[in-house]
Amino acid sequence: MGKCILSSVFVMLLMVMGSSAVGLDAKKDSGGELPDLMRVYIADRGALDRKYTLRYSEEYYDRMWQLAGAWKERLDGIDYEGMGLSDKIDYHLFRNHLEKRQFDLQLAREGTGEVIEVIDFAGSLKNFIRDRRRGNSPNSRAVADAFHEAGMEVKKRIDKIDSKDKFKTWQQASRASDVVDDLRENLEWAFDFYDLYHPDFSWWVAAPWEKLSDKLTNYATALKGHYDESVDTDDGSGIFGRPLGAEALEREIHSEMIPYTARELIEMARREFEWCQEQLSASAAKLGYEDYMDAIEYVKTTSVAPGEQPALINYFAEEAIEFLEERNLLTVPELAKETWRMRMLSPEMQRIAPFFLGGEQVQVAFPTSTMEHDLKMMSLRGNNPHFSRAVVHHELIPGHHLQQFMNSRYQTHRRPFMTPFWIEGWALYWEMLLWEKDFARNAEDEIGMLFWRIHRNARIIFSLKYHLGEMSPQECIDFLVEKVGHERANAEAEVRRSFEGAWGPLYQISYMVGGLQMMALREELVESGRMEEKTFHDRILRENGMPIELLRALLLEKPPERDFESSWKFIELLNR
């Protein structure tokens, strides 16, 4: 393993040192101290994450809170006025991350505190886990006794669970289940450390552990379903998310340096939604349709035959690159063109991601032979060529693949502090810019491009209203079907992805909001004549990810004050 790691590091070093061979000029990270400090913090956090593996414990929360606080103090002691522009940007990027980190830790601590009593019997078990970290020699008989007693206690709790008060929400029940799973997983790691290696450990502990492990698994399952269904009912969608509520939602928006309220963002999205409807109607008229929804339905019938989708995607990828280079819009390194790959999305994955996913490897959505006929037809219609054409450049070049390629080579210290408003905003910005540059070949392509654009505005509306408690998952699904033109199965998958996936609560609004921020920044720099278009795009990629307001300060060469607060009203810079 050591040789493999060294080999991988060596290859990465060669790629960076040889970057000029693929059309990139070697460029060092900032010469100040912030990049190194940010790398040290990430290393410190990683080390503590690996050490304190009981994630639902005061020990973990205290240590991580202490880490963030210590780094904030360290930042306070830095000579801010003596910094260069790049370091000042890094200062605010780093500080914003630390403040958000402490906010998230406090929420997690409070949530765990609501359910931690489900393992209030586990004191000796946690001691065993902590002792294992340094390889302390265990008292095998005492460990066996502790496991046996814990197993009996867990059995009692399972037997009596129906007589206990139910959790108020499914979120609490799920968290309680996670707490138990976390304990069981850590106990398993500790058991495996000594099993077969310590002379009498296996003889004493193996049997009690097997029983305790089974009981903890059953306990976690029982807790997960132990909530008041009259409060947290299924609205018919079968989708259960975690609405933030107004206060937490506004805090999330603030941490992304967006100086607008949720209500203001919904209003912005509504106006953009109406613009998309107007454009869709104009494109539909070119096809002879009065209602743009009828035109969308027609475009959905243009799917390719089974087996032909990969070749089509490859064609679309090369087409987009040629369009960019002919117009000298940005630098596309030859190695970036060479190294993207393709795979097909499984039926299981398409349940939550009904369309393409991307990066260095574009994951193609298309119906499989195993899908039921109605689902097969919905996938076929939802991934038609004109919808897919608009997705390919979002996922590959100039979108996520090119982003990731550049992120791993320039200002790499900023990469762990990435924001989805930069990641998805960049890819969505190109969808909007290519629309303005007449990338669409015909009215069908226009429908495909506008479908995604109206969809991204719909995401802002339904996701923010969901977190404000104003829309249910089923209402979100109906909205996508009736106003955007989604197939119902695809709309269900989209909403499930929004609320049950691994993405944060603002991820779905980050596409259009981030894209509009970049369009506003383009107005200030490119349309004003202050920066060449290609230079603008190359600089964005070479500065790596950050909140767009910090990117603006960097590109405008306007250092933010030390007490900087987000104030850039980008919506007012847009024409609509």
The SS3 assignment for 573 reads helix
Please check whether residue 499 is in contact with residue 466, taking contact to mean a CB–CB distance below 8 angstroms.
yes
Least confident of 29-43, 318-332, 442-456, 526-540: 29-43
Q: Give the mean pLDDT of 234-261.
A: 85
- Amino acid 307: pLDDT: 79
- Amino acid 353: pLDDT: 66
- Label residue 418 exposed, middle or buried (CB < 10 Å: 0-12, 13-18, 19+): middle
What are the structure tokens assigned to 247, written together? 């206060």
| Nearest residue to 427 via CA among 462, 453, 450 | 453
Please check whether residue 418 is in contact with residue 334, taking contact to mean a CB–CB distance below 8 angstroms.
no
DSSP track, 173-202: HHHHHHHHHHHHHHHHHHHHHHTTTSTTHH
| Nearest residue to 422 via CA among 546, 513, 552 | 546
Q: Give the mean pLDDT of 200-209.
A: 96
- Amino acid 342: pLDDT: 83
DSSP H or E segment with residue 343: strand 341-344
Q: Give the mean pLDDT of 103-120.
A: 95
Does the pLDDT value for residue 502 go beyond 70?
no
What are the Cα distances from residue 343, in Å, to 29, 358, 475? 34, 10, 33
Q: In the chain, pLDDT over 70 holds for what percent of residues?
A: 91
- Amino acid 21: pLDDT: 32
d(CA 546, CA 420): 9
Does the pLDDT value for residue 14 go beyond 60?
no
What are the structure tokens assigned to 558, written together? 């306007």
Does the pLDDT value for residue 296 go beyond 70?
yes
Please check whether residue 292 is in contact with residue 277, taking contact to mean a CB–CB distance below 8 angstroms.
yes
Between 14 and 351, the higher pLDDT residue: 351
- Amino acid 352: pLDDT: 62
Please check whether residue 139 is in contact with residue 205, taking contact to mean a CB–CB distance below 8 angstroms.
no
Does the pLDDT value for residue 142 go beyond 50?
yes
| Nearest residue to 424 via CA among 513, 519, 354 | 513
Between 573 and 543, the higher pLDDT residue: 543
Please check whether residue 147 is in contact with residue 252, taking contact to mean a CB–CB distance below 8 angstroms.
no
Between 359 and 203, the higher pLDDT residue: 203
Between 309 and 563, the higher pLDDT residue: 563
- Amino acid 99: pLDDT: 95
Does the pLDDT value for residue 26 go beyond 60?
no
Between 22 and 217, the higher pLDDT residue: 217
Does the pLDDT value for residue 372 go beyond 90?
no
Please check whether residue 242 is in contact with residue 480, taking contact to mean a CB–CB distance below 8 angstroms.
no
Does the pLDDT value for residue 328 go beyond 60?
yes
Q: Give the mean pLDDT of 364-374.
A: 74
- Amino acid 8: pLDDT: 37
Between 9 and 485, the higher pLDDT residue: 485
Q: Give the mean pLDDT of 269-285.
A: 96
List, for residues 391-417, the tens digit of each pLDDT value.
899 999 999 999 999 999 999 999 999
Q: Give the mean pLDDT of 29-42.
A: 83
- Mean pLDDT, the chain, rounded, equals 89
Residue written as tokens 């109605």? 374
- Amino acid 237: pLDDT: 72
Query: Is the N-terminal amide bond of 398 cis, ω within 30° of 0?
Result: yes
- Amino acid 576: pLDDT: 56
- Amino acid 408: pLDDT: 95
- Amino acid 490: pLDDT: 81
Q: Give the mean pLDDT of 490-497.
A: 85
d(CA 552, CA 23): 26
The SS3 assignment for 574 reads coil
- Amino acid 96: pLDDT: 95
Residues 550/554/559/561 CA torsion (nearest 10 deg): 0
Residue written as tokens 């900023």? 414
DSSP H or E segment with residue 255: helix 246-255
Compute φ and ψ for 443, nearest 5 degrees: -65, -35
DSSP track, 76-142: HTS-STTS-HHHHHHHHHHHHHHHHHHHHHHHHHHHHHTTGGGGTT-HHHHHHHHHHHTTPPP-HHH
Instruction: Name, in order, each residue with C-beta under 8 angstroms of 513's C-beta and a sequence gap of 6 or more.
Output: 258, 265, 421, 425, 460
d(CA 105, CA 180): 19
Least confident of 54-63, 77-86, 450-459, 488-497: 488-497
